[in-house]
Structure 1
Amino acid sequence: MCGISLSLRLVPHHSSSSVQDHLSKSLEAPIKARGPDSYQTFQTRIPLDSQWDVELTLSVSVLSLRGTGTVRQPVVTHRGVLAWNGQIFQGVHVGKEDNDTAKLAELIDSTDVDDPRALLPHIEGPYAFVFFDTKTQTLFFQVDPLSRRSLLIHPIDHNAPMQTFMLSSTRVESLSRLQDDPRVSDDNESHVADFLQRLASSVRRRIENIPNPRSGDARVAVLFSGGVDCSLLAALIHRFIPADEPIDLLNVAFAQLPDAKSVDLPRFDVPDRLSGRQSLGELRAACPRRQWRFVEINVSQKECEEHRSAVMDLMYPNATEMDLSLAYPLYFASRGQGHAQAEAYEPYSTAAKVYISGLGADEQLAGYARHRGAFQRDGIGGLLDELQKDLDRLPTRNLARDDRLISSHGRESRYPYLDLSFVTYLSSLPLSIKCDLSREGGDKALLRAAAAKCGLTETSQRIKRAMQFGTRSAKMSGQDKPRAKRGQQLANE
């Protein structure tokens, strides 16, 4: 994982150096925060005419997660300059001792395609890709089809003395159209087994290349509400991590203010804290030899106020009350500071650099209340349309924003449910296999059956609760206001 900042701007032809513009300066600190292992800058000039040059500045920070050492970026090759914020899980062979950035740089140099982006459709994994071809003086950039890594474009300020183009936008590719087949399978067990096998493969690809942690540290953490989506992922991660290593379960709760007449201290017994403890019990029963480290991240109202400006900067250009209520839990989870039970209940900060998220399960398996509403109003066709809308909106509504928040403290988010081969597999299944909204508890039916098969019986029956209400972050952001005000734009701060 890394942070990328690229600027293109006009500078006088004969000037010896240029002063870094305000926008570039403002991005330097958050870019460095994304990748604490290295930071360096590549700069060059391209003559435009007799008076002006185009100055290209590419700065990259690196959080080293692949190979035996840190590969500093940008990588300068025979052909050009590469910045790669991503992971290669399939499509290009990357051994356990190899670095995927170095492999990609070698691949670009060894091929004669005019546009290096032609190599990207063969790659499965999240990425933001920037490549400057020094031979043709062409800039290429792209993100993966689901925009799992953030790359924004800052608009050019035509009133500024020096007009600057800066990268930071999402390139949204079309997603496979969800397919429906009215046939009902006679062998649900085989579908459950197939679902588990495919999801487990997606999980394995996302954790097998994480460097070995120090003794007692966790190599991976799960964003853990106690819901069925994240609990199933935790159970599958258990299969691929050495038995003597802990797995951190990060559970965020926002202070519940005491009654005005009460002298009690703020409480953190929010719904996600309670369901998290219940699911923890089932994981311990199902996988008794594993050290499941339940990390309670308690956030006070004062902390929310102190970090509000930083959170709003990170979630930009998303700027509604709802965005803020979703951003708070991810931001404080990224910070990774809480309490855990060891010899005593004591302060604890996770050392894990990779966070596993359950995002994508609800969007593909009809986990939201609006899916049931669409089905009740318009039947199968209405449900299909609503599912497709959710899948199409993931890049702009969730993934790029979440990437900026989680990476703000040098962490990387990985999404097993959004592995492209897994998305294609789910899209090929009949709706009747994935869910049955004609009955209570029929949402995400396939996933719930898989969780029960893994020993998470009670968790498999747990109802969906939105993150902002499960953690009670909605009360901190103002999203507990009347519905008409929840989507309103936040005032500039």
Structure 2
Amino acid sequence: MCGICCSVSFSVEHFKKDLKEDLLYNLKRRGPDSGKQILKSNGNYQCLFSGHVLHLRGVLTAQPVEDERGDVFLWNGEVFGGVKIETEENDTHIMFKYLSTCKSESDISLLFSEVQGPWSFIYYQASSHYLWFGRDFFGRRSLLWQFSNLSKSFCISSVGTQAPGGTKQWQEVPAAGIFRIDLKSAANSKCVTLYFYPWKHISGENVIEECVNALTQISPDLPTFVSVVVNKAKLYLEKPIVPLNMMMPHARLETQSKKISNIPSTKETLQVFLTDSYMKKVVHQFIDVLSTAVKRRVLYLSRDKSLTPNEVLKTCYRKANVAFLFSGGIDSMVIAALADRHIPLDEPIDLLNVAFMVKEKTVPSSFNRRQDQKDYGEMPSKELSESAGAVDGDSPDDNVPDRITGRAGLKELQTINPSRVWNFVEINVSLEELQKLRRTQIRHLVQPLDTVLDDSIGCAVWFASRGIGCLATQDGTKSYQSSAKVILTGIGADEQLAGYSRHRVRFQTLGLKALNEEIAMELGRISSRNLGRDDRVIADHGKEARFPFLDENVVSFLNSLPIWEKANLTLPRGIGEKLILRLAAVELGLTDAALLPKRAMQFGSRIAKLENNKEKASDKCGRLQVISLENLS
């Protein structure tokens, strides 16, 4: 995980040798292990590159990186496949090495077609004056752009800052392909042309499927001096997933499904499906491909040496390298159970469970930060340790749904592997702390998204991923801060497996074809609806989000299946939605979690009940706006 940024100016009087302080601060939070800047000037344009690294793989490689030709590279990503890279190698170094061998636009588009994993990048080719940038197919890494009409300048960055008045200055770079700008031409013409290389699918007959509405994904709010055109050579990136299987079942299958619509939501019901040899085979194929995706995401990071069995028994304070956003729901339970197969046994796993306290209470806020950071409402460690006992006794978190299911999920995981240290981190957030940290930090990360739903989820994920809370131990409750740099989330499961209530409504009103179309739409918009925001929020703690359900091989496997092998919405809630995932949970030894119906994070954590429960999720959220006179009040 890194904070990457490139600021470009075409006006001599607007040349800057440094980024704005607040933008630089947000970038540094993403990459606390290394940071530097490179300034490139050529004729009438200037590029300021700023890179800030969270070190996870191989040798620490400071960014930006520059070669003898003057080319500059900024990389925020993880290579999990497609491009050859050894486990001990640094992917920034390897990707720059591959780029340096590219002789043409075609070579560059082919390279990014092959990379499997989340990424965003900025690449400057000095000899041609080209600036390349973009995000992966799903948009798992944030990248924003901002164009200025007045100064004829623009900025591309992992994260932005919010200006007073609620003006939308930053926009997400669409995850519709990659882009190239000819900086020399732009400087001369005073117009910026974004040459677009879209994602397209090649069928078995090698016929290019038209990229429907690709250009319409580009924001229409770009200033008049910026235009977007498909690249002149008509080059494209090959989509990294197979097309969604839109096959419809025979009428006989639909009739049989309706006959079992009243079956009970029990484990025995799920086991009936597993008596079918074909279905059992499909479920195990799903477990295998998802397990491989989880394995890549929990092992591709630096670790201390493994302990001997005797050392394991003597070790009480071994630090976790991997954490999970954990509600105890089916998504987080399955990936935690699979991670348990691959993470060394002597290594604890942190389960981060967030609850918002309707009733005021004292909660841990933070440990001391480095002194060069601003004060964003963080509590001294002494006060933190004194407040650790706040979860004892009659606690208001007893009525928080995700806390209840989280504790139940913990017991299931302990049953599956009692030898593992499972750290169930109870993160309790007061209204006062929520309002203070939203105002000073979180709203800058959620933008350019601005709805009530974005506010609720953005805040919940920010506090959860911060990992500061309490552990219930045999010796009582103690304060705890997760040291894990990698955080796994279950996002992507609902979108692909008809997990939302709107999927059931769509199916009941318009049928299976409409349900398939809804799922295709969900996956197509996940970059702009969820992933950029979640990446910015989690990375703000110097941690990296990883998404096993959005692994290219997992998505391709699920896309290859007909809808009725993934979900059966004629069955009741807790069974029919995400059916294949529930069957996988049963095969992994999970019980109660396999039957839990979907519960949205904003309701499960109770954040939606904390301030104004009469709002609609799609409403614009005033709490995310910066008021120009707020510092005068």
TM-score, length of structure 2 as denominator length? 0.72
Kept in 2: contact 1:327–1:405 (CA 8 A) = yes
Counterpart selection for 1:75 from 65, 71, 75: 65
**5 Å matches for 1:346-425?**
346-425=478-557
Q: What is the CA distance between 1:78 and its match in structure 2? A: 3.7
Q: What is the CA distance between 1:129 and its match in structure 2? A: 1.1
Kept in 1: contact 2:358–2:610 (CA 8 A) = no
- 1:267 is aligned to 2:396: yes
Cα deviations across residues 195-240 of structure 1 (Å, max 9, x unaligned)? 0000001111112211114870001001100000010000000111
Structure of higher CA gyration radius? 2
Counterpart selection for 2:155 from 140, 145, 166: 166
Kept in 2: contact 1:128–1:142 (CA 8 A) = yes
Give me the whole-angstrom Cα distance separating, in 1, the residues matched to 2:100 and 2:85: 16
Q: Which amino acid aligns with 1:354?
A: V
Q: Which amino acid aligns with 2:466?
A: R
**5 Å matches for 1:122-133?**
122-133=114-125
Q: What is the CA distance between 1:147 and its match in structure 2? A: 0.5
Aligned to 2:46, the other structure's residue is in SS state strand
Counterpart in the other structure of 2:300: 209
Cα deviations across residues 5-27 of structure 1 (Å, max 9, x unaligned)? 110013439x9x74546xx3321
**5 Å matches for 1:85-100?**
85-100=76-91
Q: What is the CA distance between 1:268 and its match in structure 2? A: 1.6
Q: Which amino acid aligns with 1:73?
A: Q
Aligned to 2:533, the other structure's residue is in SS state helix
Q: What is the CA distance between 1:482 and its match in structure 2? A: 4.6
RMSD: 2.0
Kept in 1: contact 2:348–2:422 (CA 8 A) = yes
Aligned to 2:342, the other structure's residue is in SS state coil
Kept in 2: contact 1:256–1:266 (CA 8 A) = no
Kept in 2: contact 1:257–1:266 (CA 8 A) = no
Kept in 1: contact 2:18–2:48 (CA 8 A) = no
Range that drifts further, 235-244 or 249-258:
249-258
Give me the whole-angstrom Cα distance separating, in 2, the residues matched to 1:321 and 1:423: 29
**5 Å matches for 1:36-47?**
36-47=32-43
- 1:335 is aligned to 2:466: yes
Give me the whole-angstrom Cα distance separating, in 2, the residues matched to 1:211 and 1:461: 36
Q: What is the CA distance between 1:486 and its match in structure 2? A: 4.7
Counterpart in the other structure of 1:302: 432
Give me the whole-angstrom Cα distance separating, in 1, the residues matched to 2:76 and 2:348: 27
Counterpart in the other structure of 1:261: none
Aligned to 2:413, the other structure's residue is in SS state helix
Counterpart selection for 1:154 from 146, 151, 155: 146
- 1:321 is aligned to 2:452: yes
Distance 1:375 1:180, change over 3 A: same
Give me the whole-angstrom Cα distance separating, in 2, the residues matched to 1:468 and 1:6: 34
Q: Which amino acid aligns with 1:89?
A: F
Q: What is the CA distance between 1:177 and its match in structure 2? A: 4.4
- 1:235 is aligned to 2:235: no
Kept in 1: contact 2:243–2:560 (CA 8 A) = no
Aligned to 1:222, the other structure's residue is in SS state strand
Give me the whole-angstrom Cα distance separating, in 1, the residues matched to 2:407 and 2:528: 32
Which runs of no fewer than 5 residues in structure 2 stay unpaired? 158-171, 177-198, 200-238, 254-275, 306-316, 361-392, 627-633
Q: What is the CA distance between 1:369 and its match in structure 2? A: 0.6
- 1:178 is aligned to 2:244: yes
- 1:192 is aligned to 2:288: no
Kept in 2: contact 1:304–1:476 (CA 8 A) = no
Counterpart in the other structure of 2:353: 251
Kept in 1: contact 2:490–2:549 (CA 8 A) = yes
Range that drifts further, 194-203 or 97-106:
97-106
Q: What is the CA distance between 1:91 and its match in structure 2? A: 1.3
Kept in 1: contact 2:293–2:548 (CA 8 A) = yes
Q: What is the CA distance between 1:107 and its match in structure 2? A: 1.1
Kept in 2: contact 1:222–1:234 (CA 8 A) = yes
Which runs of no fewer than 5 residues in structure 1 stay unpaired? 48-52, 259-263
Q: Which amino acid aligns with 1:226?
A: G
Q: What is the CA distance between 1:347 and its match in structure 2? A: 0.4
Kept in 2: contact 1:5–1:27 (CA 8 A) = no
Aligned to 2:610, the other structure's residue is in SS state helix
Give me the whole-angstrom Cα distance separating, in 1, the residues matched to 2:45 and 2:544: 33
Cα deviations across residues 93-133 of structure 1 (Å, max 9, x unaligned)? 22121111111111112332336343111010000011000
Give me the whole-angstrom Cα distance separating, in 2, the residues matched to 1:477 and 1:233: 32
Give me the whole-angstrom Cα distance separating, in 2, the residues matched to 1:425 and 1:221: 26
Give me the whole-angstrom Cα distance separating, in 2, the residues matched to 1:18 and 1:373: 53
Give me the whole-angstrom Cα distance separating, in 1, the residues matched to 2:53 and 2:335: 27
**5 Å matches for 1:48-87?**
53-67=44-58, 69-79=59-69, 80-87=71-78
Q: What is the CA distance between 1:476 and its match in structure 2? A: 3.4
Counterpart selection for 1:101 from 66, 76, 92: 92
Kept in 2: contact 1:145–1:171 (CA 8 A) = no
TM-score, length of structure 1 as denominator length? 0.92
Matched pairs, number: 473
Counterpart in the other structure of 1:462: 596
> Identical aligned pairs, as a percentage?
38
Cα deviations across residues 332-359 of structure 1 (Å, max 9, x unaligned)? 1222111113443100000000000000
Cα deviations across residues 234-264 of structure 1 (Å, max 9, x unaligned)? 0000111111110000000000228xxxxx9
Give me the whole-angstrom Cα distance separating, in 2, the residues matched to 1:457 and 1:431: 24
Counterpart selection for 2:442 from 311, 314, 321: 311
